[in-house]
Amino acid sequence: MTKDTGARTKLRQHFLANLGRIMNSDELREVAGGITEWARRVRELRTEEGYQIQTHNDRSDLKPGQYVLTDPKPQPAFERAISKETRAFVLDRNGFTCQMCGAVAGEPHPYDQTRKTRLHIGHIVDKSQGGTDDSANLRALCSVCNEGASNLTLERPSAQKLLIQVRRAKVGDQLELLKWLIQKFPKQAEELLQNKNLHS
């Protein structure tokens, strides 16, 4: 058994013995025998063995350098089956925007301004409910929504439902939405204005 393999085993046992307890990087480095590759061993527990070890990228209540194992039973590492090409396609198709809350990658998260938005690839119909890894069944989700989206399938709101929500909003919020739409669709906004001027 190599030193690295031994470190992974020690880390796995330590996480399982401290299920649900938040641990910091100093503690985990010590458990791994002080090796410099301890963080890689933790990633391997997540990506290769499927342990649900969460960090500040997954949960807003965790600080950088904090880790917690939330479930003793490993989950299949479904996302590994998603190729880099498919991931890039889905992110680009979704405009690098969370499809549940609208948060944009790299910008401060609307529900937690202290945290920049990080996007994951999520399933529309969850794998446990028969969903596939096909790009048509994938969407961009931020860390915040991804935490609450497990086994949850939400339908996209229709234009009618969106209009109802916009009409109920305050004027200032409606104007913010208008600015965002013009930035997102500048060409279409210009065409609409030209058509309106022609028919005036």
124 in Cβ contact with 153 (< 8 Å): yes
CB atoms within 10 A of CB 180: 12
Q: Is residue 10 part of a domain?
A: yes
Assess whether 142 and 170 both reside in one domain: no
> Using only C-alpha atoms, what is the Rg of the chain?
22
C-alpha 128/C-alpha 150 separation (Å) is: 10
What local confidence, expressed as pLDDT, does residue 148 receive? 60
Please report the pLDDT score of residue 76 as a whole number: 59
Same domain, 97 and 37: no
Q: Which residues contact 182 (CB under 8 A, 6 or more apart)?
A: 189
pLDDT of residue 116: 83
Provide the CATH number for the domain around residue 55: 1.10.10
What per-residue confidence (pLDDT) applies to 25? 92
> How confident is the model over 63-73, as pLDDT tens digits?
888 999 998 98
Same structural domain, 64 and 82: no
> 119: which DSSP letter?
E
Residue 85: which domain range? 78-148
- For the chain, how many structural domains are there in total? 3
Confidence at residue 180, expressed as pLDDT on a 0 to 100 scale:
83
Considering the domain architecture, whether residues 142 and 177 belong to the same structural domain is answered as no
Per-residue pLDDT of the chain (200 residues; tens, 9 = 90+): 444 458 999 999 999 999 999 999 999 999 998 888 898 899 888 877 888 898 877 777 888 889 999 989 887 554 456 788 898 999 999 999 999 888 888 888 887 777 788 888 888 887 767 788 889 999 998 877 776 654 444 556 788 888 888 888 899 989 998 988 888 788 888 888 888 777 66
User: Does residue 154 lie within any of the structural domains?
Assistant: no
Q: Are residues 12 and 37 in the same domain?
A: yes
The pTM score is 0.42
User: Per the domain annotation, does 100 fall within a domain?
Assistant: yes
State in Å, rounded, how far the first CA of the chain is from the last one. 80
Are 63 and 118 part of one and the same domain? Answer: no
3-state SS, residue 28? helix
Residue that finishes a domain, picked among 44, 69, 94: 69
pLDDT at residue 15 in the model: 96
Buried b (16+ CB within 10 A) or exposed e, 47-78: eeebbbbbbbebbeeeeeebbbbeeeeeeeee
